[in-house]
Amino acid sequence: MEKKNTIKENLCDVNLMLKTSGLVMQTWGNASTVDRERGKVFIKPSGVDYEKMHSDDIVVTDFSGKIVEGTLAPSVDLYCHLELYTAFPQIGGIVHTHSHYASCFAQARRAIPCFGTTHADYFYGDIPLLEPLEEKEVDQAYESNTGKAIIKYFTGGDPMTCPAVLIAGHGPFVWGTSLEEAFENAEVLEEVARMAMHTLLINPGAEKLEDYLVEKHFLRKHGRHAYYGQNRANDQ
Amino acid sequence: MEKKNTIKENLCDVNLMLKTSGLVMQTWGNASTVDRERGKVFIKPSGVDYEKMHSDDIVVTDFSGKIVEGTLAPSVDLYCHLELYTAFPQIGGIVHTHSHYASCFAQARRAIPCFGTTHADYFYGDIPLLEPLEEKEVDQAYESNTGKAIIKYFTGGDPMTCPAVLIAGHGPFVWGTSLEEAFENAEVLEEVARMAMHTLLINPGAEKLEDYLVEKHFLRKHGRHAYYGQNRANDQ
Amino acid sequence: MEKKNTIKENLCDVNLMLKTSGLVMQTWGNASTVDRERGKVFIKPSGVDYEKMHSDDIVVTDFSGKIVEGTLAPSVDLYCHLELYTAFPQIGGIVHTHSHYASCFAQARRAIPCFGTTHADYFYGDIPLLEPLEEKEVDQAYESNTGKAIIKYFTGGDPMTCPAVLIAGHGPFVWGTSLEEAFENAEVLEEVARMAMHTLLINPGAEKLEDYLVEKHFLRKHGRHAYYGQNRANDQ
Amino acid sequence: MEKKNTIKENLCDVNLMLKTSGLVMQTWGNASTVDRERGKVFIKPSGVDYEKMHSDDIVVTDFSGKIVEGTLAPSVDLYCHLELYTAFPQIGGIVHTHSHYASCFAQARRAIPCFGTTHADYFYGDIPLLEPLEEKEVDQAYESNTGKAIIKYFTGGDPMTCPAVLIAGHGPFVWGTSLEEAFENAEVLEEVARMAMHTLLINPGAEKLEDYLVEKHFLRKHGRHAYYGQNRANDQ
């Protein structure tokens, strides 16, 4: 019995870390996680201060968005999260923020070019920019249509090779195989965006990292042949 | 009796928050609030350190600027605040700062374009730039003429759809239905200005957010059909 | 007897504030003050960590630079400070830093344009850039020649109307009627430099503040007709 | 016996300082030191959180990279450090980071121009940019080939006149005669890079510091004729 709230407590912690890490101002962000065995999605309530949030405030829904635990209204972005959990079975956590530099690329309507090894250590290639929804899509089901646009982008691809996208004029959605990894990716995305902007300020014609270096760095940390860190039980 | 100083204490707190939030350096800013029933305006004294300010230092005036409580000289901007409280009955608090990025737009003599949903969540369209007063207006009654210029800008409009303006070469004036909301709007304005500058650095030809997205986001948080947050007693 | 170290303790405090305020990294800065009655100049020792500095470490010299108290070597910039104290009888403190944005203007070899009222509240017009010394002047008496260049710039003028200059390729020298005012001016200079850079990024063709506004703001805070703050015993 | 872990504890401290100083995010950096008498190199383990690292986690190898103490896998950059310690007998510590502004110059593929005296106080001239390795060099022995490229750059020169280089598309490697000096140089490099970027933003055509000023400042702090600081036992 003692551990029954662990998921909710973790989610509270990660939502608070969004604030303390500087990724989020006011209440502009939300993190969610999933318990796939029990078919439950856990998400931050809407417009609640991170500092005042208690694990009991976390809203739990099923995959259709029906609230199964909690008395507060869920984040307005719930339906976007639900689309992603349904389409991407390999993800365990989603983070949405208006983090400063990533959102500036979204506002500037530019993908984040892969300029260096810091980027390639986490994301295989550019962070894509998804064009804004059309007026009709916004009017009908804004949040779930946002999720559908992300899913469409990854058709035939693997969402874990680039666990972040920018929504034009808005900001990033980021995910990971776990909630903790989603948060880490959101932090790295923000630094990678800030680096890309300053790289362009130093050299507006900066060129992207060579393909073979992108590959070397991404694969040095991910996949069967990874040899970074303490977890080298692969074929090294 | 116990609560008789509450307004002054709140105002002290918000003035101190101007400093701790980084919106204000030195003594470059002031917050005020109003008790419309009793016809009183409460404002920060001039040139007093926020850290040393006590609730008894708050200056209270009537709507004509006559001091009715307090022994210190009020902020030099008092007459601007008075004009706004008189003209805009829906506002309950005013904040003036030289917050960095908003003031840089004021110095650059540029309105802050509405580039994204973060902006549109709080301000319906661009943050306007008011041209500087003419020499005669500065010489005669600088501070109240600043207030009059703001009022003139909103003639026939609603000051709550865009609760902030930039005074060219100077900085922002921001308001809200309450003192707390005025402070929140001042914080958001600063972030929105910083985002707009970086958006322009990434893409000097960046285009504004589509009208239907401005509308969607502003109305998702404001007005009868709002569905953000926990206060959804409207027609949702 | 108890107060005999007050000047040294104040100077220690201000030197430490250079670090905690972010104006100084490592040991890149120095503050000094003067006791004109006793003909003594007090300055930070060279290359000593601000955090470890004790009031006994302060070096005291006469106006010729002869050490009269203290066992440590004085800041290498001593002879520049001495030139300024000798030429400008109205100053009581000098601060030299490599503060980031002011030094970037010095490196870019640009004066800091007076773009707004924040600047005009403290400095009457642009912060001037002094061209670098010639090779001969550097070889012979680098530090005192730097002081002489500043003095030459103000020939026939009042160094209190603009209590800061930039040395090309180096950084700012700042002063005030007191040590505390010199520190305040150094902090404001840094913010004014940062604002000017961002103003230029938003609008590379930004124009300077109108003369009548420069005058209004500078004189609202300085001189006989000042009406900012609590000290309005002038002719208001 | 009591002091036997001193080197490891110092190295733990400096690795942690990489994080607290803001030079490093996540686990993106590593510091090492050397005991030349005993032929041992001490380096951070790979992918371990700085906050959780204990001195016993430090990996000790000989100059060929053979682990002689410790149970964890060493930083993946070990072989780059080993090359440098072997080729440069005068260095006592190496720091590799992805510090923000230095890495942005590396991503922009620009050397850091020597624009001012802050730079010249530590580095005699521009911080060089080394072109990325070729695909073959990356595939075969990426990390040791990186070290070899640095050594090749300094052929016939003194690595202590410019104790830092940028690896194109990656980030800086920095060294010093001691571990502490390597850390200080890494901190200064980051500030110098940030200053260079802002200098270019203020004036894209900014020119470098005059040679005689570079020389004056570098030699004022280094070498036989140095007269900065408290250590003036030279020929002054």
Statement: residue B234 has pLDDT above 70: no
**pTM for this prediction:** 0.94
In what helix (H) or strand (E) does residue B217 lie, and over which residues does it extend? helix B211-221
* pLDDT average, residue stretch A160-167: 97
**B59 token code pair:** 């200056």
User: How big is the B-C interface in CB pairs under 8 Å?
Assistant: 85
Query: What is the residue whose two structure tokens read 């670098």?
Result: C132
Inter-chain contact A229–D46, Cβ cutoff 8 Å? Answer: yes
Query: Which residue out of B121, B126, B142, B153 is catalytically annotated?
Result: B121
* pLDDT average, residue stretch A202-222: 93
Query: What is the residue whose two structure tokens read 């730039």?
Result: B129
Statement: residue B231 has pLDDT above 70: no
Which residue type, as a one-letter code, is found at position D148?
Answer: K
What's the mean pLDDT when you consider all of chain C? 93
Q: State how far residue A142 is from chain B, nearest Cα, in angstroms.
A: 9
Looking at chain C, which runs of residues are DSSP E strands? Answer: 29-35, 40-43, 59-61, 67-69, 93-97, 129-130, 164-167, 172-176
Nearest to residue A7, comparing CAs of A80, A71, A70? Answer: A70
Count CB-CB contacts under 10 A for residue B66. 8
Say how far apart CA A230 and CA A212 lie, in whole Å: 24
Q: Residue A47 — pLDDT band, cuts 50, 70, 90?
A: confident
- Identify the three-state secondary structure at position D37: coil
* pLDDT average, residue stretch B190-217: 97
Predicted local distance difference test score (pLDDT) of residue A205: 97
Q: What is the DSSP letter of A42?
A: E
Query: What is the residue whose two structure tokens read 């505390």?
Result: C180
Looking at A44-113, which runs of residues are DSSP E strands? Answer: 59-61, 67-69, 93-97
Statement: residue C55 has pLDDT above 50: yes
B228 is an active site residue: yes
Q: What is the DSSP letter of C74?
A: B
Inter-chain contact B108–C216, Cβ cutoff 8 Å? Answer: no
Digit-coded pLDDT (tens) for A183-202: 999 999 999 999 999 999 99
Chain B residue numbers with beta carbons less than 8 Å from the beta carbon of A108 are 115, 199-200, 202-203, 206
Predicted local distance difference test score (pLDDT) of residue C231: 62
Q: Does C222 touch chain B (CB under 8 A)?
A: no
User: To the nearest 10°, the Cα dihedral for C141, C145, C147, C152?
Assistant: 160
Query: What is the residue whose two structure tokens read 């942690």?
Result: D16
Q: At what angle do helices C211-221 and B135-153 cross, to 10 degrees?
A: 100
Digit-coded pLDDT (tens) for D66-113: 999 999 999 999 999 999 999 999 999 999 999 999 999 999 999 999
Q: State how far residue A204 is from chain D, nearest Cα, in angstroms.
A: 8
What's the mean pLDDT when you consider all of chain D? 93
Q: Do A163 and A157 touch, CB atoms closer than 8 A? A: no
Predicted local distance difference test score (pLDDT) of residue D228: 74
* Rounded (5°) CA angle A53-A55-A61: 105
Can you give the length of chain D in residues?
A: 236
Digit-coded pLDDT (tens) for B28-43: 999 999 999 999 999 9
A35 is an active site residue: no
Predicted local distance difference test score (pLDDT) of residue A5: 59
Statement: residue C235 has pLDDT above 70: no
* Rounded (5°) CA angle C7-C13-C18: 125
The interface pTM score, or ipTM, of the predicted complex is 0.93
Q: What is the DSSP letter of A167?
A: E
Q: Residue C221 — pLDDT band, cuts 50, 70, 90?
A: confident
Say how far apart CA A126 and CA C37 lie, in whole Å: 67
Digit-coded pLDDT (tens) for B125-142: 999 999 999 999 998 999
Say how far apart CA B35 and CA D124 lie, in whole Å: 64
Predicted local distance difference test score (pLDDT) of residue D5: 59
Q: Does D113 touch chain A (CB under 8 A)?
A: no
Chain D residue numbers with beta carbons less than 8 Å from the beta carbon of A121 are 28
Looking at C17-109, which runs of residues are DSSP E strands? Answer: 29-35, 40-43, 59-61, 67-69, 93-97
Say how far apart CA D7 and CA D12 lie, in whole Å: 9
Say how far apart CA C93 and CA C91 lie, in whole Å: 6
Q: Does D195 touch chain C (CB under 8 A)?
A: yes
Nearest to B229 among A47, A132, A142 (CB): A47
Half-sphere exposure (Cβ direction) of D96: Cα atoms closer than 13 Å? 25
* pLDDT average, residue stretch A147-168: 96
Q: Look at phi and psi of residue B59 and say left if phi exceeds 0, alpha if psi is from -120 to 50, else beta.
A: beta
Statement: residue A235 has pLDDT above 50: no
Question: Which chains neighbour C (Cβ–Cβ under 8 Å, 3 or more pairs)?
Answer: B, D
Statement: residue D234 has pLDDT above 50: no
Report percent pLDDT > 70 for chain A. Answer: 94
Digit-coded pLDDT (tens) for B53-87: 999 999 999 999 999 999 999 999 999 999 999 99
User: To the nearest 10°, the Cα dihedral for D154, D158, D162, D168?
Assistant: 10
Higher-scoring residue by pLDDT: B6, C187: C187
Inter-chain contact A132–B194, Cβ cutoff 8 Å? Answer: no
Statement: residue C136 has pLDDT above 60: yes
Q: What is the DSSP letter of C5?
A: T
Across the strands, what pairs with A163?
none
Statement: residue B1 has pLDDT above 80: no
**A49 token code pair:** 């201060």
Predicted local distance difference test score (pLDDT) of residue C236: 29
Say how far apart CA A13 and CA A28 lie, in whole Å: 16
Nearest to residue A124, comparing CAs of A216, A232, A226? Answer: A216
Statement: residue C78 has pLDDT above 80: yes
Say how far apart CA A218 and CA A118 lie, in whole Å: 9
Higher-scoring residue by pLDDT: A223, A157: A157
